Amino acid sequence: MADNLPTLPSPPSEKEAMFYYSGLPSGPRLVARTGTTPWKEPTGPEAYRKLKELGPVGNHPLCEVWGDGLALKVHDLLDTMKVKWTSIDVVRIKDVEESFAPVILWIGVLPASLSGEDGVVVASKCRELLVESGITDVDVEIRESVVTRWAAPKFPTSTYSFDSTVDVREPLTTTLGLPICAQSTPCADGTGGFFIAEGVNTKRLLLVTARHVIFPPDKNENKHFEHKNDSQPRHNVTLFGDAAFNKYLESIKAEIGGKVADKDVSTHWATPESRVLGHVILSPPINVGIDSSGEGYTEDWAVIEIDASKVDASNFDGNAIDLGTRIPVYEFARMMHPNPRNAPSFEYPGDRLLRLKGTIPDEEMRHPTALDQNDEPCLVVIKRGITTGLTVGHANNICSYARNYDNDNAKISKEWAILPQDCKSGAFADKGDSGSVIVDALGRIGGLLTSGAGATPSADVTYATPISFLLKRMQDNALHIDAV
């Protein structure tokens, strides 16, 4: 592949390949890069590796041309060169101690599928495409990475912060971030996203989540599911899978030392039948490319009707995320308001419940109105999932692309990318967080978490489907809804 080409960058050494991305959640392996700044191996008895962190693009000319054909040209080039790519992101990557963060075209490939020698050829060709489009200050980096889909009595009411059981009881309240699974596949856990209602003609309460959480692809056929009447068998959804419930019991014992709450939970919620939350009423097959370009967002959603015996007006808080007590109030407020130039948009709720209202417009996703600590446009978002709990991240303002290899049939989907807040915060999401709703400081819904890209189960980049796409697809499937 490297014959008859001009002088190319050298492939990374083994140590550079292993340690170049130190600091990122999954620590992916570097395959190749077009940047010419030498990587310096730490030396000396107190040597330490430089840590890197990711950031959203913000203002950059690439944002204007990326969606106007340049992204598709990159896809075509990689396919022509027979690269087994898994993800394409545009992000800022910088050393933690530095203030400047260059924009990088960041390409993920299947592990062990591309050598360093071939990788520098691919990266250089991709950079030529950027230059041809007038983008001269963006380098290309290729790393190994895979995209992964991360799969009773009434609930107690929410507890106050001074209650010692607050954090262990939170999964049994009606606040968002419910740990759920299909009763038929208790080993595949995920997260309940957000509640919706069908308008004025019905009192049904519905919950939205990712389809692969309750129809695991390795256990179910990817077919349209719709429950129209009671004569059809139900596809039940429970609170917790078996292993997750046992883990939850252990956490209660560790936190509160076998108090009454432990006895209550083990008595009333021990069997899958007692934990049935509701049943699926609608879920189209997982699909991608649902627009005129053939590269639309991922369709991976399901709607669950909640049993009235579990949730009613006496214990339902509406769509609200419990901010918990793990992150101190002052620290959380700082995360949500990173720049004093921003207009005040977040006030920590006295009852810890961030109530959801409205949606983030697509235009604001592309052109955020707030600034980060470096005065770059930035949209701060949060989610609460069953694996990583409450996390804060930065939404990217330029779309990513994921390539899923299902039975050797590669399919490309557009993704809304969420990045970790910094190198200390860890991954924004992990396996089990699929289905979580992603919201901003105002409580506006941005999207539904579906997958992530990384070299390990931890994700360097989290992917979500925007709420505008989800609502349109629900309407296309004759579901007329309002957010609760």
Residue 326 CA to its chain's centroid (Å): 20
pLDDT of residue 170 exceeding 60: no
Among the ranges given (104-118, 243-257, 460-474), the one the predictor scored with the smallest mean pLDDT: 243-257
The rounded distance, in Å, linking the Cα atoms of 145 and 113 is 11
Q: Average the pLDDT over 102-112 and give the result.
A: 98
pLDDT band at 411 (very low <50, low <70, confident <90, very high): confident
The rounded distance, in Å, linking the Cα atoms of 301 and 286 is 8
Q: Tell me the two tokens of residue 67.
A: 């969606």
pLDDT digits (tens, 9 = 90+) for 438-464: 999 999 999 999 999 999 777 999 999
pLDDT of residue 143 exceeding 70: yes
pLDDT digits (tens, 9 = 90+) for 222-277: 999 999 999 999 999 999 877 777 777 777 766 655 554 555 666 667 787 888 99
Among the ranges given (318-322, 355-359, 416-420, 421-425), the one the predictor scored with the smallest mean pLDDT: 421-425
| Helix H or strand E segment including 63 | helix 62-65
Query: Which DSSP state fits 172?
Result: G
pLDDT band at 198 (very low <50, low <70, confident <90, very high): confident
Q: Tell me the two tokens of residue 399.
A: 């779309």
Residue 155: per-residue pLDDT: 46
**Residue 328 Cα distances to 89, 130, 168, 175, angstroms:** 32, 43, 17, 19
Among the ranges given (71-80, 228-237, 382-391, 404-413), the one the predictor scored with the smallest mean pLDDT: 404-413
Instruction: Quickly list DSSP for 193-207.
Output: -EEEE-GGG---EEE
Residue 171: per-residue pLDDT: 56
For the chain, the domains span: 14-144, 165-483
What is the dotted CATH code of the domain comprising 165-483? 2.40.10.120
Instruction: Quickly list DSSP for 404-436.
Output: EEETTEEEEEEEEEEEESSTTT--S--TT-TT-
pLDDT digits (tens, 9 = 90+) for 294-330: 558 999 999 999 998 888 767 787 899 999 888 999 9
Query: Which DSSP state fits 287?
Result: B
Among the ranges given (109-118, 273-282, 406-415, 448-457), the one the predictor scored with the smallest mean pLDDT: 406-415
Average pLDDT, the chain: 87
The rounded distance, in Å, linking the Cα atoms of 445 and 463 is 15
Instruction: Quickly list DSSP for 332-399.
Output: HHHHH---TTSPP-----TTSEEE--SB--HHHHHS-SSB-TTS-B-EEEEEEETTTEEEEEEE-SS-
**Residue 67 Cα distances to 72, 74, 410, angstroms:** 8, 11, 21
Residue 52: per-residue pLDDT: 95
Q: Average the pLDDT over 365-389 and give the result.
A: 92
Angle separating helix axes 71-80 and 116-132, nearest 10 degrees: 150
Residue 166: per-residue pLDDT: 42
- 89, 106 contact by CB (below 8 A): yes
Tell me the percentage of the chain whose pLDDT exceeds 70.
86
| Helix H or strand E segment including 266 | helix 260-268
Q: Which residues pair with 320 in a beta bridge?
A: 355
pLDDT of residue 89 exceeding 90: yes
More confident position, 38 or 294: 38
Using DSSP bridges, classify how beta strands 30-33 and 379-385 pair: parallel, antiparallel or unpaired: unpaired
Among the ranges given (39-48, 313-322, 402-411, 413-422), the one the predictor scored with the smallest mean pLDDT: 39-48
pTM for the whole thing? 0.91
Query: Which DSSP state fits 299?
Result: B
Tell me the percentage of the chain whose pLDDT exceeds 90.
64
pLDDT band at 162 (very low <50, low <70, confident <90, very high): very low
More confident position, 171 or 375: 375
Residue 262: per-residue pLDDT: 54
The rounded distance, in Å, linking the Cα atoms of 317 and 192 is 15
For 130, the 3-state DSSP assignment is helix
pLDDT of residue 408 exceeding 90: no
Q: Average the pLDDT over 369-383 and give the result.
A: 92
pLDDT of residue 340 exceeding 70: yes
Residue 276: per-residue pLDDT: 93
More confident position, 400 or 165: 400
pLDDT of residue 396 exceeding 90: yes
pLDDT band at 204 (very low <50, low <70, confident <90, very high): confident
pLDDT digits (tens, 9 = 90+) for 42-76: 776 555 778 999 999 999 999 999 999 999 999 99
Residue 201: per-residue pLDDT: 60
Residue at token pair 């005065």? 375
For 402, the 3-state DSSP assignment is strand
